[in-house]
Amino acid sequence: MFEARGVRRHYPVRQGAFAPRRWLRAVDGVDLVLEPGETLAMVGESGCGKSTLARLLLRLERPTAGEIRYRGQDLWALDRAGVRGFRREVQMVFQDPHASLNPRMRVGAIVGEGMAIHDLARGRERRTRVERLLEQVGLPPEAAEAYPHEFSGGQRQRIGIARALAVEPRVVVADEPVSALDVSVQAQILNLLQDLKEERGLTYLFISHDLRVVEHVSDRVAVMYLGWVVEEAPAETLFPRPLHPYTRALLSAVPVPDPDRRTEPTVPEGDVPNPIAPPPGCPFHPRCPERFGPCDRDVPEDTRPEPGRRVRCHLFR
């Protein structure tokens, strides 16, 4: 569905009126493929570039360098009709269900707006389809007449999911869709997303920092650090046997609900480097417990230590 090659997104930064312009490297050379029908999860600490990469894939921002293709077509070479079709086929579920819904619109108008824009249904047919969508995401049909403030956070997120599905997309980008919800509600939304994927044959790009959630929903996982994808593998392989030191550190910090299996998390040294002035060599080397000779001077290349996996680390050259 998507193919990204060498994608970079750098933002100009000035730290004073007369200071030279510098660049914040939000995404710094990402290769990524999203296959039809799969759920690809992107994980990493806050500020690692996950949401920026999602905006690039959604054609909301233009990459500084590199190429993004959707179903084989260059995303930035699409004509007006192509962009319109792309907007319908790729939808987003936002992180904050409180801020992503217009408080002045009724739920029926929010869910049906995409149908109106793309001329998919009118009048009574549109109302019928909106009510059917609301029922599909677990809300009563009469919810169409209410306003967003009349619903709980989990219910609002269901409205956001219904809005995304209203135009019958192929791909749904979910940016931290459950992070603002209570744990009990998170499970309901995740199960709903899984059911909808199976019923509609959807492809998901799922962005999260919660590895418990990612393990539950993903087919494949891409781990990001400081604008790089440092490891990518099937979920069934990555969670029991992570390769990159950063991935191992992330997984060691996941709470285990069993007092007999309690372990000490591996905490990386120091803080995440400044993306305006990243360190030479491997960006993780200042914090890596396994760093050695080439780590502080040579940029590691992607390696494939086994089929279906790739890792960007000097340990696997």
The answer to whether residues 39 and 219 touch, using CB atoms and an 8 Å cutoff, is yes
* pLDDT of amino acid 261: 65
For the chain of 317 residues, list the mean pLDDT of each consecutive stretch of 10: 96 80 91 95 90 94 96 94 95 89 95 93 93 93 95 92 94 90 86 92 92 89 95 94 92 73 69 87 91 91 91 91
* pLDDT of amino acid 210: 84
Task: List the one residue out of 169, 142, 143, 170 whose CA is nearest residue 154.
Answer: 143
How far apart CA 275 and CA 10 sit, in angstroms, is 10
* pLDDT of amino acid 229: 95
Residue range(s) defining the domain that contains residue 81: 2-316
**How far is residue 242 CA from its own chain's centroid?**
20
* pLDDT of amino acid 116: 93
* pLDDT of amino acid 262: 63
Burial label, 15 (beta-carbon count in 10 A; 0-12, 13-18, 19+): exposed
* pLDDT of amino acid 264: 66
Task: List the one residue out of 271, 241, 266, 268 whose CA is nearest residue 254.
Answer: 266
Q: How many CB atoms are closer than 10 A to CB 82?
A: 14
In one letter, which amino acid is 132? R
- For residue 67, the domain's CATH number is 3.40.50.300
In one letter, which amino acid is 315? L
pTM for the model: 0.91
Structure token pair of residue 115: 């149908």
Task: List the one residue out of 244, 174, 245 whose CA is nearest residue 216.
Answer: 174
Task: List the one residue out of 162, 166, 164 whose CA is nearest residue 137.
Answer: 162
* pLDDT of amino acid 61: 95
Q: Name the domain count of the chain.
A: 1
- CA atoms lying within 13 Å on the CB side of residue 305: 16
Question: What is residue 64's three-state secondary structure?
Answer: coil
Strands (E) located in 111-202? 171-175
Residue 62: which residues within 8 A CB-CB, separation 6 or more?
A: 56, 76
Phi, psi at residue 66, to the nearest 5°? Answer: 95, 180
Task: List the one residue out of 203, 105, 190, 192 whose CA is nearest residue 150.
Answer: 105
How far apart CA 107 and CA 145 sit, in angstroms, is 6
How far apart CA 130 and CA 259 sit, in angstroms, is 47
